[in-house]
Amino acid sequence: MGLKIAVAGKGGSGKTTISVLLAKILSEDGQKVLLVDLDSDPNLANALGVPAGAASPLVHRKELVAERTGSTGEPGGMFLLNPSVVDLIESHALKVTDRVSLLPVGTIESAGEGCFCPQTAFVRALVSKVVLGKDESVILDLEAGLEAFGRAVVEGLDLLLIVVEPGMRSVETAKRILRMLPDLGIRSARIVANKVRPGNLALLARQLSENGLSADIVLAYSDELVARDLDGRSVFDYLDSRFEEEAKAVFGAL
């Protein structure tokens, strides 16, 4: 059964790393996986070992957005609310492995980006037009914070994973995200504790518990992951048996 999953959290919490590792787990379980980069600071390509120049975000291609939305680019101008974009998924997705592809979408970065504009309509249309077959899943690496939820890009998800690193600011972001979910039709939301060292696992568990939360999946802090990030190397083949076991349990529950 295919799943539509989004990964959210505070900036720097490790959303992109988690997204890539989840794609690896699902692909090894026989799924074809489409990774969609919706972050304004796109790093999925780097985490997958794809050269950055080969993964230019679609929203940065102004001519493409204008063509599909009918926008003139003028502030307050008219544009199509539901542009035709379904063909772009196949034509612009980059093949990473036989079972994993990357669609670099990005998001708008200009002032007033919370408004509903041609770029927003373009992104929402792309996400909503992803059709899953029996053995196909999509993972959305969302932009940091709450912006994606204000734009309702995540409506109708099977699973939202909220990444939390040790620290109250990350926990507070998770709480704010969870408060926005009731009206978005998301089937299930779970917490992923990331960058967890043995000495702070109990403290993070207490912080979560005091806020009515608990971690369903844990990824331990790894010097190897840090080194790969610094070197710009792929994290796709990184192994953590506990993380894999707990992620599979969450998927199985769906």
Residue 140 has pLDDT above 60, yes or no: yes
142: β partners:
38
Q: Domain with 147 in it: what CATH number? A: 3.40.50.300
CA 161 from centre of chain:
9
Helices (H), 129-240: 147-150, 168-179, 201-210, 223-231
Domain with 148, as residue range(s), is: 4-253
Q: Please, which contacts does 246-252 make with residues 24 or more away whose CB atoms are closer than 8 Å?
A: 246/216, 246/217, 246/218, 247/21, 247/22, 247/25, 247/217, 248/25, 248/29, 250/159, 250/161, 250/190, 250/216, 250/217, 251/3, 251/25, 251/26, 251/159
Q: Which residues of 75-110 are buried (b: 16+ CB within 10 A; e: fewer)?
A: eeeebeeebebeebbeebebebeebbbbbbbbbbee
Give the per-residue pLDDT at 113: 44
Task: Please say if the pLDDT value at position 2 is more than 90.
Answer: no
Contact 36, 15 (CB under 8 A): no
Q: What is the mean pLDDT of residues 24-29?
A: 95
- 218, β-bridge pairs: 193
- State how many domains the chain has: 1
In tens, the pLDDT along 67-76 reads 889 887 676 6
pLDDT digits (tens, 9 = 90+) for 102-133: 999 887 654 344 456 788 888 888 888 787 78
**pLDDT at site 39:** 82
143 pLDDT higher than 50 = yes
Note the pLDDT of residue 1: 67
HSE-CB of 179 using CA atoms within 13 angstroms: 10
Question: Which residues are CB-contacts of 32 (< 8 A; sequence separation ≥ 6)?
Answer: 99, 100, 101, 133, 135, 136, 137
Q: State residue 191's pLDDT score.
A: 96
Range 179-205 average pLDDT: 89
For 155, phi then psi, to 5°, come to: -60, 140
Q: What is the pTM of this model?
A: 0.90
pLDDT at residue number 18:
97
Average pLDDT over residues 200-211: 90
Instruction: Give 144-174 pLDDT, tens digit per residue.
Output: 877 777 666 777 789 999 999 998 999 999 9
Q: What are phi and psi of 174, to 5 degrees?
A: -60, -45
Per-residue pLDDT tens over the stretch 40-83: 777 899 999 888 678 788 888 888 888 889 887 676 678 888 88
CA 54 to chain centre: 19
Q: DSSP for 209-245, please give it.
A: HHTT---SEEEE--HHHHHHHHHT---TT---HHHHH
